[in-house]
């Protein structure tokens, strides 16, 4: 296809930010700015059997690929549609058996390589930005990132060299992996559970702000970009690249580490939410500055330690880790402090996994109100928390509280996902069933 652009927007050079996306007309809150089909995508292994490999539809009556018995589809059309990509893995999964374990990034890159070979023209995902224009930031990568890149390249050769003839040269692969790591997206469901990974070139054109004016949601394998603030003609369109719960220093650190820039957005310069996010327990006498600094250091360490522990500790050990850290931090931090909320959220996740519904509900109740304060308006994190809580209440036969929480989720979702989204229809149905 020829370059037709995206109606109502234009690519432009943003001061100090490089290329970006600008509005050419007014967009109201909740209005769809544009939709972008995935250039390439891959369903995460854990969701196989629950979602169609091709269209990501969630349903119970999927049928599996007759050869590998691993990929599931809605129907023959979805299976045929996916075959050009699935054939890469189908034979490999059969021959490697349980030893077939490439990372999701490696699987995605393999698909991108095949797509690039089959497609010579600009795709509908690249109306404003070509995938080959993605920034790689190779000059800014530290030795740890370079090592991870090399591990991924080795895995690509190991699992795919028999099935993709003439893989690109080392330098080209180094660049492609770096481009995907910096510009890739994770597709999530309405409760923010991970469904897969993808590249959406036109969505990647948008620059970051910690106070974004659009939000990205997914309808199957299509990304939809909707306004969450009024956008006027001439204004730049900003998405958020990261979780916005944390204070300014943490966000800046994360953006520099993952995306190689120092954020200078209005939220980072005003730090307007930092005081509330770092709320200290009211004590007499109040804690010393050094005590607070030391507890922040502990909090950051325990968050990282927990992230690693997820891979080897049992659920009950993980829950104990959450409880101990909350007890320690709670001596200085208020319950609304974001580090407390982070560990409560982890604890809630473990309780859900262990089917401890009362435990999960108790954590959710502590989280949901502070979330509404710390996150921007129409945040998916707030919607998903109300949704989880609403569904927990209904499961525990707390009908009034359940409906109330689902309605709060719905108010956000109708703006963020759009009123015609199947997730919105699902929540409406859940509310209706309680009448």
Contact call for residues 25 and 33 (beta carbons, < 8 A): no
Structure tokens at 308: 């690693």
User: Over the chain, what is the mean pLDDT?
Assistant: 95
The CATH number of domain 9-237, selected from 2.60.40.10, 3.40.50.10860, 3.40.50.300, 2.170.270.10: 2.170.270.10
Instruction: Give φ, ψ of 151 to 5 degrees.
Output: -65, -45
pLDDT digits (tens, 9 = 90+) for 123-180: 999 999 999 999 999 999 889 999 999 999 999 999 998 888 889 999 999 999 999 9
Averaged pLDDT for residues 269-289:
94
H/E segment holding residue 359: helix 357-374
Does the pLDDT of residue 246 top 90, yes or no?
Answer: yes
Nearest 10 degrees: Cα torsion 89, 90, 94, 99: 20
Q: Do the domains at 9-237 and 279-374 have one common CATH topology?
A: no
Contact call for residues 110 and 39 (beta carbons, < 8 A): no
Enumerate the domain spans of the chain: 9-237, 279-374, 378-434
At 4 the pLDDT is: 65
Burial class (CB in 10 A: 0-12, 13-18, 19+), 409: buried
Does the pLDDT of residue 3 top 70, yes or no?
Answer: no
pLDDT digits (tens, 9 = 90+) for 215-242: 999 999 999 999 999 999 999 999 999 9
Single out the residue of 57, 66, 17, 67 nearest to residue 237, CA to CA: 17
C-alpha distance across the termini of the chain, in Å: 50
At 92 the pLDDT is: 87
Predicted structure pTM score: 0.94
Q: May I ask the CATH class of domain 279-374?
A: mainly alpha
At 16 the pLDDT is: 84
- Tally helices (H) and strands (E) across the chain: 15, 12
At 1 the pLDDT is: 47
pLDDT digits (tens, 9 = 90+) for 387-423: 999 999 999 999 999 999 999 999 999 999 999 999 9
Return the beta strands (E) in 135-233 as ranges: 185-188, 194-199, 207-208, 214-219, 222-227
Contact call for residues 174 and 138 (beta carbons, < 8 A): yes
Tokens 């730049």 appear where? 236
At 328 the pLDDT is: 97
Averaged pLDDT for residues 247-266:
94
Task: Give percent of the chain with pLDDT exceeding 90.
Answer: 91
At 164 the pLDDT is: 84
Contact call for residues 22 and 237 (beta carbons, < 8 A): yes
291/297 Cα distance (integer angstroms): 10
Structure tokens at 231: 């956008």
How far lies 328's CA from each of 302, 310, 376, in Å?
A: 11, 20, 29
Burial profile 369-407: b = 16 or more Cβ within 10 angstroms, e = fewer: ebbbebbbebbbbbbbbbbbbbbbbbeeebeebbbebbe
At 226 the pLDDT is: 98
104/102 Cα distance (integer angstroms): 7
277/296 Cα distance (integer angstroms): 12
Q: Please give the DSSP secondary-structure letter assigned to residue 381.
A: H
pLDDT digits (tens, 9 = 90+) for 335-370: 999 999 999 999 999 999 999 999 999 999 999 999
């Amino acid at each position: 296809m020829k370059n037709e652009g995206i109606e109502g927007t234009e690519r432009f050079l943003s001061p100090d930010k490089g290329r970006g996306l600008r509005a050419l007309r007014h967009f109201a809150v909740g209005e769809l700015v544009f939709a972008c089909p995935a250039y390439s995508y891959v369903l995460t292994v854990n969701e196989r059997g629950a979602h169609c490999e091709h269209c990501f539809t969630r349903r119970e009556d999927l049928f599996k690929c007759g050869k590998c018995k691993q990929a599931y589809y809605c129907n023959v059309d979805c299976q045929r549609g996916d075959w050009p990509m699935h054939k890469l893995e189908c034979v490999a999964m059969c021959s490697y058996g349980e030893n077939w374990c490439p990372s999701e990034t490696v699987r995605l890159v393999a698909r991108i390589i095949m797509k690039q070979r089959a497609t010579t023209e600009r795709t509908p995902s690249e109306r404003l930005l070509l995938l080959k224009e993605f920034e790689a930031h190779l000059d800014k990568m530290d030795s740890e990132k370079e090592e991870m890149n090399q591990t991924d390249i080795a895995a690509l050769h190991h699992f795919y060299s028999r099935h993709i003839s003439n893989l690109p040269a080392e330098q080209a692969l180094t660049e492609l992996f770096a481009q995907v790591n910096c510009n890739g997206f994770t597709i999530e469901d309405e409760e923010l559970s991970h469904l897969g990974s993808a590249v959406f070139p036109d969505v990647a054109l948008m620059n970051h702000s910690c106070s974004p004016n659009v939000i990205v949601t997914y309808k199957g394998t299509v990304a939809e970009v909707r306004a969450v603030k009024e956008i006027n003609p001439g204004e730049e369109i900003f998405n958020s690249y990261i979780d916005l719960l944390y204070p300014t220093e943490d966000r800046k650190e994360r953006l520099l580490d993952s995306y190689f820039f120092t954020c200078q957005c209005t939220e980072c310069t005003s730090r307007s939410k930092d005081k509330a996010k770092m709320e200290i327990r009211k004590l007499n006498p109040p804690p010393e500055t050094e005590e607070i600094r030391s507890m922040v250091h502990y909090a950051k360490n325990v968050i990282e330690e927990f992230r690693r522990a997820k891979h080897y500790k049992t659920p009950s050990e993980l829950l104990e880790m959450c409880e101990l850290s909350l007890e320690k931090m709670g001596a200085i931090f208020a319950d609304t402090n974001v580090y407390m909320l982070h560990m409560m959220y982890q604890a809630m996740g473990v309780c859900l996994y262990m089917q401890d519904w009362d435990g999960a509900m108790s954590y959710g109740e502590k989280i949901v109100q502070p979330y509404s304060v710390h996150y921007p308006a129409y945040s998916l994190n707030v919607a998903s928390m109300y949704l989880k809580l609403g569904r927990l209440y209904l499961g525990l036969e707390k009908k009034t509280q359940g409906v109330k929480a689902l309605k709060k989720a719905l108010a956000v979702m109708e703006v963020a996902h759009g009123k015609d989204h199947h997730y919105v229809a699902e929540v409406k149905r859940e509310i209706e069933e309680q009448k």
